[in-house]
Structure formats: C-alpha cells, structure tokens
Amino acid sequence: MSKKGKSYKDKLSRDRSFNAISQKFKKNIYGTPKGKIREAVLKRDFSQHIPWLDNETAPKRIIDIGGGQGQLAIYLARLGHHITLVDMSEDMLQLAREHVEQAGLNAQFEFIHAPLQALPDLKLGTFDFVLCHAVLEWLVDQVEAITILSKHVNDSGYLSLMYFNKDAHLFANMVYGNFDYVNQGLHVKQKVGLSPNHPVKPEVVDDALNQENFKRLCKTGVRCFHDYLRELEKGKAQFDDLLALELKYNQQEPYASLGRYTHLLLQAKSRSS
C-alpha cells in the first residue's frame, strides 16, 4: 500500500460514521427545535443570496455532502434541481432514500455511499451549489476537506459550509458550569454519541477559505440563543418567538459568533468580481 493510501485510510479510521446512531440523530436532532432552527436558518440564508434558487430557472446541479437523511436536499429538489446526496453512512443514506421516495422525487436524486475524502476519486465534476453541513467537526483533517469542497464548486457556483463552532462550545460549557471539561481542553475520555469529535476553530476555516477563490456572502450563527436557555416550554408560540429572534439577530455580531454552529455562504469570485 502506498504511503498516501495508508494515510487516507488512517484518517477515515479516526473520523466518525453514523451507521450505529442514525436513529438517534433522527430523534434527537432532526425532529427537534434544534433541527427546525437549523433548517429555517439555512433556507433563509439561501433565499437571501442565491437568485436562481426558486425562480423557475433551468435545473441546477447540487451536491449535498454528508447529506444525512436528506431534509435540505428534498427541499432543493422540490424547487426543481438535481441532487447528488453523498454520505459515508449507509444507514443515513437508506433513510434519505426512503424520504425521497415518499416525496416522489427519485428521478432528481443520485445517492453515493462514500466519505468526503473520496470525492476526488469519484470524478463527479463541479456543481452549481455544494453543501457541506455538520461534517467538518467529525473529520481529522478539516483543511483538506475544505480544499476538496472548493474544487467541486464551479465558476458560477456557491458553497454552503456549516460547522460546530469550538468557541461557542467553550462558551456554552462555561455557562453550564462545566469548568473541569473546559480545563481539560474540551476533551473527554469517552466519546459521547452525538457530540462531535473535533469542534472547529473558526480561524482554521477562515485561513483555509482565504486560500480559495471565494467571496463570503454571509456569516450566520445557528442556535445563538436556543442552546443557552435553561428551559424552553413546549408550546409552539414560545418556539415561534425564539425562532423569530434567532433569525433577527443571527447575522449580527456578537451573536453570529455565539451560535453553536456557524454557517458560511460563499460564492465563486469569478462570478461576483
């Protein structure tokens, strides 16, 4: 085996897959206020900055890397676009296939079982829109991942990148009083099922993106307030009030940098310059 091949497999062995916990994600993330806030924020950001999104233009070519159960991919397919959904978890892909079939959108989808690092070998070409949400924090080499993503955005394309913000993770644990955890550098001996292995430092992402040919369209905090609330009553009215405030403030500092996740929407400079 070549040195490069050995390094690639070693990285994958330290990255996380979700075959064993896909149902936990379905129950504890996607179907909760957390998931609803994430979806609403991303859709708002897309509609603000991507003019062709729902303007009945010719169908665009979109790839959703780490697309999980396919919620956003289905939303984009319903707007008329073609979707390639990639995930390293076969369990996640199966759930996505079921949701796509239920929505009657099979003809607009291609499913690929592969990790992000395999994309160069798949030779898929470039896309009008590349999505990569909540993936970086599970990877060992985050800079390499950003380089790979960048190479799949075409000259008139967009990149939507969302990652688990290490700064906000530290701040939240200070608010919760988890001082020992903070003093240990946010490391625990035993991995928690849904907790990311490698929370992302914003400066690492910014430095990596500065090496690529993008213009930043927006920076948005995802769950700037939700995760700091001690209790949230289960009434729809209170959630609606919270969501309205999230959407009002989450593109403003300091709140944007306090979101548990950070969403960056970028555009290839060749189009916008």
pLDDT by residue (tens digit) across 84-99?
999 999 999 999 999 9
**133 annotated to a ligand binding site:** yes
Preceding peptide of 120 cis, ω within 30°:
no
Residue in 267, 142, 266, 160 with CA at minimum distance from that of residue 222:
160
Centre a 10 Å sphere on the Cβ of residue 88 and count the other Cβ atoms it contains: 23
Percent of the chain with pLDDT over 90: 70
Domain around 95: 3-272
Q: What is the pLDDT of residue 32?
A: 82
Is pLDDT of 192 > 70? no
Q: What is the pLDDT of residue 165?
A: 97
Is pLDDT of 112 > 80? yes
b vs e for 126-165, b when ≥16 Cβ sit within 10 Å of the residue's Cβ?
ebbbbbbbbbbbbbebbeebbebbbebbbeebbbbbbbbb
**259 annotated to a ligand binding site:** no
* Residue appearing with tokens 């994309």: 119
Selected residue with higher pLDDT from 32 and 36: 36
Residues 6+ away with beta carbon under 8 Å from 201: 166, 167
Q: Would you give the end-to-end CA distance of the chain in angstroms?
A: 44
Domains contained in the chain, number? 1
**67 annotated to a ligand binding site:** yes
* Residue appearing with tokens 């008139």: 156
HSE value, Cβ hemisphere, 13 Å, CA-based, for 143: 7
**221 annotated to a ligand binding site:** no
Q: What is the pLDDT of residue 230?
A: 73
3-state SS assignment for residue 132: strand
Rg (CA), the chain: 18
DSSP 50-107: -TTTTTT-SPPEEEEET-TT-HHHHHHHHTT-EEEEEES-HHHHHHHHHHHHHHT-GG
3-state SS assignment for residue 218: strand
**15 annotated to a ligand binding site:** no
Is pLDDT of 82 > 60? yes
| Token pair in block for residue 34 | 């957390």
Residue 67's φ and ψ, nearest 5 degrees, are -70, -5
CATH number of domain containing 162: 3.40.50.150
